[in-house]
Amino acid sequence: MATLHGTPRDDGFFMPAETAPHAGCWMLWPERPDNWRLSARPAQRAFAAVAAAVARFEPVTVGVSHRQYLNARAMLPPAVRLVELSSDDAWVRDTGPAFVVDGAGGVRGIDWRFNAWGGLAGGLYFPWDHDALVAQKVLEIEGVDRYQADLVLEGGAFHVDGEGTLLTTRPCLLDPNRNPGLDEAEVEAVLRAYLGVDAVLWLPRGLPGDETGGHVDNLCCFVRPGAVVLAWTDDHADPAYDVCREAEELIRAATDARGRQIEVHRLHLPEPQHITVEEAEGVDRAPGTARRDAGQRLAASYVNYYPCNGAAIVPAFGSRHDAPAFAALAALLPGRDIVPVPAREILLGGGGIHCITQQVPPALRCEGSAS
C-alpha cells in the first residue's frame, strides 16, 4: 500500500469517535513470558475471551507469531481471523494504526512512531522493532494507505470525540523519552494535522500504577461528543483521588471544539489492585524488561473498555464496584449491550481491554491506489 505525503487534515481526513460504526477489530496474541505469567497461558485465555466477546458484534482479526499460531487457533473461536504477524507484545491499541476517514467512505491509517512507552531510558522493554512495524503491516493487510507521523504516540494516549476534540495527558505526549524537544504547541500541531482535531484537552496526570506514564484510556473517554466518563474514587487517601479530581476540574472548566461545556460522569474505580506474590513469581525475569514485583499497584479502571458495534466489552475485576460500574456504563451507552470480561490477567500485563483492541472504520471506497 502507498505511503502518503501530506497530512490527513490537508487531505480532508479526520479520526472518527470509537463509538462510530466499525468494520472490525484488531488484536494481537500475548506470549512473552517476561511480561505474562505462566508463559502467558492465563493471559491467552483472557485475550481469547475478549476476542470471542467482540466477535459476537463485529469481525475480529488477531495477529499471532508463527510459534503460537496453532495454539491461538485452538483457543480462539473459528469466526476470529488469525494472521501471522510478528510483534514484541500484544498492545495493538498502542502499536496499531489510528484510522482516519473522510466522511465519504475513504479510510486511511496513521503509523505513529513507537518506542515501547519511553525508549531505552524510560520504556518497558527492548527491543521493540517488531512492534514498530505492526501499524504498517495491519494497514497492508487491511488494504489501506498509510501516513507516517513523526511523533512517538500510542493509541491509548489519546481519545477523540470525532467532532474536533481530543483528550490526552501531559506526561505521555510531552515525555522527554518519547518526544524530546517538542513542546505542547508543537505536539498539538501534529495532533491537529493528523487527527483533524481543533481542541486539545491536556489532563495533568494519569492513574497511579499506570506503567505507560499515564495513558488517558485508563482515566477518561468520550461516551458521546460533549460527554465523558471519568475514573473516580471517593477515597481521599488514594493517590488516584487527586488525579481524578484535577482531571474533573480541568474538563469542567473547558469547552470542546464545538464550544460545548463537557458533561463529566464519574465511574468509581475498583479498589486498588496490586500484584500478588504468586502472580509475580509466575513472570520470567529478563534483562531489558520492566520487572513485575509483588506489591506493585496496577492501573485497574472500568474506563478501559472497548466500544464495539452494539456493545461495550468492559473489564471485570471481581470487585464490589463491578456491578455498579456496569450499570453506570449501560446508562451512559444506550443501545449497547454491556459485556463484562474478567480482566485481571490483562491488567497484570500492564493494561486493559481498550489497550488490546483497535477498531477499523468501514470503507465504502477503495483508497488503496491513492499514490
Q: How far is the CB of 210 from ligand KQY (least distance, A)?
A: 7
**Interaction of residue 217 with ligand KQY, rule CB under 6 A:** yes
Q: Which residue is nearest to ligand KQY (CB)?
A: 156
**Interaction of residue 26 with ligand KQY, rule CB under 6 A:** no
Which CB sits closer to ligand KQY, 156 or 162? Answer: 156
For residue 11, how many other CB atoms are within 10 A of its CB? 17
| Residue range at the interface with ligand KQY (CB under 6 A); choices 56-64, 79-87, 249-257, 343-351 | 343-351
> Can you list the alpha helix ranges (DSSP code H) found in 254-290?
277-281
Burial of 204 (0-12, 13-18, 19+ CB in 10 A): middle
**Interaction of residue 161 with ligand KQY, rule CB under 6 A:** no
Count of residues of this chain found to bind ligand KQY when the rule CB under 6 A is applied: 14
Residue with cell 504477524: 85
Q: Among 24, 213, 350, 361, which residue interacts with ligand KQY (rule: CB under 6 A)?
A: 350
Q: Are 82 and 69 in contact (CB under 8 A)?
A: yes
Q: How far is the CB of 88 from ligand KQY (least distance, A)?
A: 10
Longest Cα–Cα distance in the chain: 56
The contact pattern for ligand KQY, residues 228-247, with x = CB under 6 A and - = no contact, is --------------------
| Residue range at the interface with ligand KQY (CB under 6 A); choices 142-150, 253-261, 280-288, 350-358 | 350-358
273's grid cell? 489492585
| Residue range at the interface with ligand KQY (CB under 6 A); choices 209-217, 279-287, 319-327, 333-341 | 209-217
Distances (CA, A) of 287 to 34, 117, 124, 174, 363: 9, 17, 11, 27, 43
d(CA 267, CA 230) in angstroms, rounded, equals 6
**Interaction of residue 355 with ligand KQY, rule CB under 6 A:** yes
Residues 87-126 binding ligand KQY (CB under 6 A) are: 91, 93-94, 124
Q: How far is the CB of 261 from ligand KQY (least distance, A)?
A: 28
d(CA 34, CA 127) in angstroms, rounded, equals 13
Does 355 participate in catalysis according to the annotation? yes
Which CB sits closer to ligand KQY, 229 or 363? Answer: 229
**Interaction of residue 156 with ligand KQY, rule CB under 6 A:** yes
Residues 260-319 binding ligand KQY (CB under 6 A) are: none
Those residues whose C-beta lies under 8 Å from the C-beta of residue 42, and which sit 6 or more positions away, are 36, 345
Distances (CA, A) of 276 to 47, 208, 295, 366: 21, 17, 6, 49
**Interaction of residue 212 with ligand KQY, rule CB under 6 A:** yes
- Cα 103 to chain centroid distance, Å, stands at 23
Which CB sits closer to ligand KQY, 124 or 182? Answer: 124
Those residues whose C-beta lies under 8 Å from the C-beta of residue 72, and which sit 6 or more positions away, are 29, 44, 48, 62, 64, 82
Peptide bond into 127 cis (omega under 30): yes
Which CB sits closer to ligand KQY, 73 or 291? Answer: 291
Q: Are 114 and 177 in contact (CB under 8 A)?
A: no
Residues that bind ligand KQY (CB under 6 A): 91, 93-94, 124, 154, 156, 211-212, 215, 217, 349-351, 355
For the annotated catalytic residues, the residue numbers are 355
